[in-house]
Amino acid sequence: MHPMLNIAVRAARAAGKILVKNFDQGSPVEAESKGLNDWVTDMDKAAEQAIINTIKKSYPDHGIIAEESGTQAGKENDFQWVIDPLDGTTNYMRGIPHFCISIALLHKGSVQQAVVYDPMREELFTATRGAGAQLNGRRLRISPKVELKGAILATGFPFKMKNRLPEYLEMFSKLFEHCADVRRAGAAALDLAYVAAARHDAFWEMGLKPWDMLAGELLVREAGGIVSDFQGGHNYIQSGNIAAGAPKALKQMLAQIR
């Protein structure tokens, strides 16, 4: 394993330990509001701190961009770590055991190493640019699906931007009409990891942030899939509108929503 990926895995496992230990399936966890339907719990913050501490121990000069603490020192460094300490906060708060940690390492703006870790199921998705994607060490391959017909898609709803609901519903109805079924599990990084693992044939969501997408993007690409914005272009990190999947199925999907 690449030494930088190794540190990312160590950091994700440290965060996972905290999240699992404090996970409560019985009663909802307390949370602070960051905006409309947007929450942060003490565990998002504790997990993030554990990740940052682990990275800083090995790479004190690297840049860090983390969801809850923002951009830290090291902005000029060629290496930037982009961290979502708890993807699926709403699930976590409600005792739904579907959430993950997402860590991407960028070099000069391109993702080199990626980890998406589901600590409840102990599923570790990893990728190194040019060296493939793995789940617990087993090589991942994108779904062989070539058309939308019969496809299982995943999505996220625009719950923080209800003004975009009409646009979203139009996409949803076009895609739902042509595919087999759609999942909305509530953790975008895991949705992307599941595309890499061929559990989903494709995924789309609008309004995501870089830390939701960057690790999953490399997983999908290294498994042989395609990642794009809704026009088939490269503008997904800036726009937050992302589509990912098996190449031919994704092409049919984009033809419906563009």
**Least distance CB 214 / Ca ion (angstroms):** 11
**Least distance CB 186 / ligand IPD (angstroms):** 5
Residues sharing a CB contact under 8 Å with residue 225, sequence separation 6 or more, in sequence order: 142, 195, 196, 244, 245, 246, 247, 250
CA distance 225 to 163: 31
84 annotated as ligand-binding: yes
181 annotated as ligand-binding: no
Q: Rg of the Cα trace of the chain?
A: 17
Q: Which of 15, 66, 208, 220 binds ligand IPD (CB under 6 A)?
A: 208
The yes or no reply on residue 156 touching ligand IPD (CB under 6 A) is yes
Residue 68 binding result from ligand IPD, Ca ion, none, given CB thresholds of 5 to 8 Å by partner type: none
**Least distance CB 75 / ligand IPD (angstroms):** 22
187, with CB counted inside 10 A (0-12, 13-18, 19+), is buried
Q: Which of 186, 210, 225, 245 binds ligand IPD (CB under 6 A)?
A: 186
For residue 140, give the nearest of 127, 151, 158 by alpha carbon. 127
β-strands 38-40, 226-228 pairing: unpaired
Token pair, residue 85, equals: 């300490």
67 annotated as ligand-binding: yes
Q: DSSP label at 164?
A: G
Helices marked H in the chain: 3-21, 42-58, 89-93, 165-178, 188-196, 210-222, 236-239, 247-257
**Least distance CB 2 / ligand IPD (angstroms):** 26
CB-nearer residue toward ligand IPD: 59 or 203: 203
CB-nearer residue toward ligand IPD: 36 or 108: 36
The yes or no reply on residue 87 touching Ca ion (CB under 5 A) is yes
Q: What are phi and psi of 109, to 5 degrees?
A: 85, -5
212 annotated as ligand-binding: yes
Q: Which of 212, 217, 222, 229 binds Ca ion (CB under 5 A)?
A: 212
| Helix-helix angle 165-178:247-257, to 10 degrees | 130
Choices 57-65, 107-115, 161-169, 183-191; region in contact with ligand IPD by CB under 6 A? 183-191
**Least distance CB 176 / Ca ion (angstroms):** 24
CB-nearer residue toward ligand IPD: 135 or 208: 208
Closest-approach residue to ligand IPD (CB): 156
User: What residue type is assigned to position 42 of the chain?
Assistant: D
Contacts to Ca ion by CB under 5 A: 67, 84, 86-87, 89, 212
Binding-site members for Mg(2+) are: 67, 84, 86-87, 212
Contacts to ligand IPD by CB under 6 A: 84, 86-89, 156, 186-188, 205, 208, 212
